[in-house]
Amino acid sequence: MENISVALLQIMPTGSPEGNLKKGIECCKEAKKRGADIALFPEMWSVGYYISEDLEELKRTAVSADGPFVTEFKRLAKELDMAIGITFLESFEPLPRNSVCLIDRFGQAAYTYSKVHTCDFGDECRLTPGEDFYVADIDTAKGIVRVGSMICYDREFPESARILMLKGAEIILVPNACQMEINRLSQLRARAYENMVGIATVNYPEGHPHCNGHSTAFDGIAYALGEEKSRDMLIAEAGGGECILFADFPIDKMREYRSREVHGNAYRRPGKYGILLSEEVKEPFVRKDAGR
């Protein structure tokens, strides 16, 4: 299979859902023109990652997963023959969700994932967390690839990427809205390494509150065939400014690597991990604002 090209839309929101829709369409068309198989938006693109303190306003700014905003990107995906990961503040009860809908090149929703690990210590305390992690086989023009998603803070929990790997994800798409500095980039590198999975993360550029660009992609191949030394898994990294970053994932090489290397699921001992299912939280990790 040829490389799967993921376009990471590191772009600045316009200040309105209508403007974001228009700009998003233009950027997707540019991504397709430059050869993208999948285009991915930064976190909650419909509102530019704005979470109102006024609950009524928050609900008014949310959109349905089958409403006009998302439907327009379904139409666009079919028109462009390109998959699109559109992110949005999703209408939900009792409070909205932080969601991404992965639309295939035929204009159909492959899945809608809502952020499981909401930032309850901040503005996301006013959002409803998601319930599960999803994967789907995406039929690109170059062949089928299995894709899943996690969103921003999800990356800080190894379980997120682990579950997606266990469900067969080959590439994990990660919408983001925060400072991508060495430690957070290291988390993404670790998730790719320990699961032998590609990870593509798109952030807002510098100038957006608390964001600094540096969208990245890791292919998960730590050891090239026939090479003794490890290799850098980073295949793309943006600077701080507005741009469309292209990440080309060598799917055949990734699959060959996963078939022979020692990470992932081959040598795990799930029977020893029972404590991971415990809901108990002890000091020093007790937090009054934790949403669970």
| Chain centre to alpha carbon of residue 18 | 23
**Sequence-ordered strand ranges (E) for 238-286:** 243-249
Structure tokens at 174: 């990660």
φ/ψ (deg, to 5) at 72: -65, -35
SS3 label, residue 168: coil
* Catalytic (active site) residue 115: yes
* Catalytic (active site) residue 206: no
What is the DSSP secondary structure assignment for residue 283, as one 8-state letter? T
* Catalytic (active site) residue 43: yes
Sign of CA dihedral 100, 36, 244, 192: positive
27, 28, 101, 152: the catalytic one is: 152
Token pair 């079919």 in the structure block, residue: 78
User: How many of the other CB atoms lie within 10 Å of CB of 21?
Assistant: 20
27, 28, 32, 43: the catalytic one is: 43
What is the DSSP secondary structure assignment for residue 55, as one 8-state letter? H
27, 32, 90, 115: the catalytic one is: 115
Q: How far is CA 171 from CA 6, 183, 223, 271, in A?
A: 10, 21, 18, 27
Residues recognised as catalytic: 43, 115, 152
